[in-house]
Amino acid sequence: MLNRLVHLILKIPIPRKKNSYYVAIKEQEVLFSTLELNRSDGLNSLNQVLISLGFDEYTESNGMWSEHLVLFAAIAVSDYKVCKILEIGTFCGQTTLILSKLFPSAKLTTYDLPLKNIRNKKIYEYAFSRKVQDETNFLELRNTNLSQIVDLEFKEKTH
């Protein structure tokens, strides 16, 4: 399945023009079905999770979330059994939190750079300017999101 999953992710089209939006959704539905996944069921499940967490629903038109979350949600409602999840790049922990709700029985491990590396390399500079006011708010947001996850291993690692 992993090879098919990677192939699917690489082939998911990104709509560039308004008219191509609906074509891209149909193409995505076909690609999901090649993995015996239902994109609509995944989207419905994802939106239920997002709403339960107080987030906005997923919509392709505003780019709020990435299509990979729809894919994960489709896997979550399928017959595939997911026991372990490795996330690289925790950021503020929202995706980690979403994954924990989609796969409540899975062991979740997430890695991110230590804050000093993030600050020095300005990796998350855009986040500090757009999503949170400063480092303190960023860490509070990440810690709040991660504290809601029962079976989580969070590690800060340098390259």
- pLDDT tens digits, residue range 62-100? 555 678 899 999 999 999 999 999 998 888 888 999 999
Per the model's pLDDT, the better-predicted residue between 132 and 50 turns out to be 50
69-78, 121-130, 133-142: least confidently modelled range: 121-130
Domain ranges of the chain: 1-80, 83-159
Return the residue matching tokens 């609906």. 22
Q: What angle do CA 149, 108, 57 make, to 5 degrees?
A: 65
pTM of the model: 0.77
Nearest to 76 by CA among 44, 111, 28: 44
> Token pair for residue 95?
């995706």
2-16, 113-127, 135-149: least confidently modelled range: 2-16
Q: Is 46 exposed, middle or buried (0-12, 13-18, 19+ CB in 10 A)?
A: buried
pLDDT tens track for 13-62: 554 555 576 777 888 899 999 999 999 999 999 999 999 999 888 876 65
CB 113 within 8 A of CB 119: no
